[in-house]
Amino acid sequence: MSKRPSESLVEDGPTGKIARVDDSVPGVVKKTGARRPVLVYRPGESLNQLTEHLTPQGHEDVEVRIPGQFVSSSNHKVKARQLWGSDVYTSDSDLVAVLMHYGYVHHTISSPLRDVAEIRAVVRPLPAQDKYQSVARNSIRSRSWCSPIQGCSFSVEKAWVVTRSGNSYDLSPLSGNFSPVVPTFTPARHERMVTRSSMGPGKQKHSQEVTVVFSMNNDPWIKYSLQAVCDQGLKPHDRTSAKLKSHVMLLETYSSRYELSPSTAASNGQEKFMFAKCKSILSCKEYRKAGIPLPMSHKDVLEDGLLWEDILWGVNNVLIRDKTYPIVRIQFMSIAEEHVSE
């Protein structure tokens, strides 16, 4: 494409869209729009100033300008995943991480692009939400938040890149609203052969990231995910159903606690399970004192005689006989010795 003065192109040139920021993508010069309030992005600073543009009568869109030196996955706020929500984000979410989550900027850009002067985004201030959902999109998973926040929320209406030559190009988000189906999780250390070449001194060991959440009585539990409940290998003793012979699984929604335990009904050799709602929220110490699994006086049985196939695990819920329970936390508790021997 031949170079022309940016002023004449801004007045008469057509507009166009490209899929994402990349090392070398052709584009068409973009016309400038109406003037808006302008903020300059600085890493580590939240967008709490957006609250000044949010009134009971409505909102006022704000243009945020991001210097090109910060537009890369090496931005320390992107590495830290300072990102809460999906489509609507908290005001302390990092805008570069938000643009990568939307798909305006590709997450594989590891260093600033030489020809990019800045990226500009039109941000719409929104009222604070009751909760912000975690969603995996475009190879980045946002974080969830389920408590009231100070400040406001925001969404991104559009974005464009400005080159060092003064030209500007529209960006369009990539579609990434899907979750991969993971029926069985197999740890690599169990199923992969390691050759000597891959064990050289130059290889670094990687530690697995673990998220710890707290239950309704402030005990440390496991954040619910498919990886936390699916089979841990291909051998029979690695199956989650086998683990429930010696453990019960406690599951929590935002307001209730449930217990999944071996069924006391006649099984004829089959593994069957009981799903019950706990009448009270006990700490781990109180739970062990009451008995594991809980006595019938401490719970209301919702389903009994369940086969493992009757329990369908979802991304953020479990479906049991056509009824869905949204799950946020789980915990495994060892069954008392006298129950195991029975």
Model confidence at 326: pLDDT above 90: yes
Average the pLDDT over 117-122 and give the result: 94
Where in the chain are the domains?
6-171, 212-341
Structural element, H or E, at residue 89: strand 88-90
Strand partners, 141: 136
Model confidence at 181: pLDDT above 90: no
- Strand ranges inside 164-278, DSSP E: 168-171, 212-214, 220-223, 247-252, 257-262, 273-278
Structural element, H or E, at residue 229: helix 226-229
Average the pLDDT over 216-237 and give the result: 84
Alpha-carbon span 24 to 148, nearest angstrom: 43
The structure tokens listed for 185 are 């999780």
Q: Which residues of 94-105 are buried (b: 16+ CB within 10 A; e: fewer)?
A: bbbbbbbbbbbb
- Listed in sequence order, the residues at least 6 apart from 24 whose beta carbon sits closer than 8 Å to its beta carbon are none
- Listed in sequence order, the residues at least 6 apart from 67 whose beta carbon sits closer than 8 Å to its beta carbon are 40, 41, 117, 118
Alpha-carbon span 304 to 163, nearest angstrom: 64
Q: Are strands 62-67 and 38-40 parallel, antiparallel or unpaired?
A: parallel
Reported as a single tens digit per residue, the pLDDT across 51-92 is 888 877 777 899 999 999 999 888 988 988 999 998 999 999
Q: For tokens 């009134």, what's the residue?
A: 55
Reported as a single tens digit per residue, the pLDDT across 152-163 is 999 999 999 999
Give yes or no for a contact between 176 and 138, defined as CB atoms under 8 angstroms apart: yes
Structural element, H or E, at residue 102: helix 95-102
State how far the alpha carbon of 302 is from the alpha carbons of 73, 277, 278, in Å.
47, 7, 10
Alpha-carbon span 226 to 108, nearest angstrom: 26
The end-to-end CA distance of the chain, in Å, is 79
Alpha-carbon span 218 to 282, nearest angstrom: 10
Model confidence at 258: pLDDT above 60: yes
Which CATH superfamily does the domain covering 6-171 fall into?
LCCL-like domain (2.170.130.20)
Average the pLDDT over 106-123 and give the result: 89
pTM > 0.75: yes or no:
no
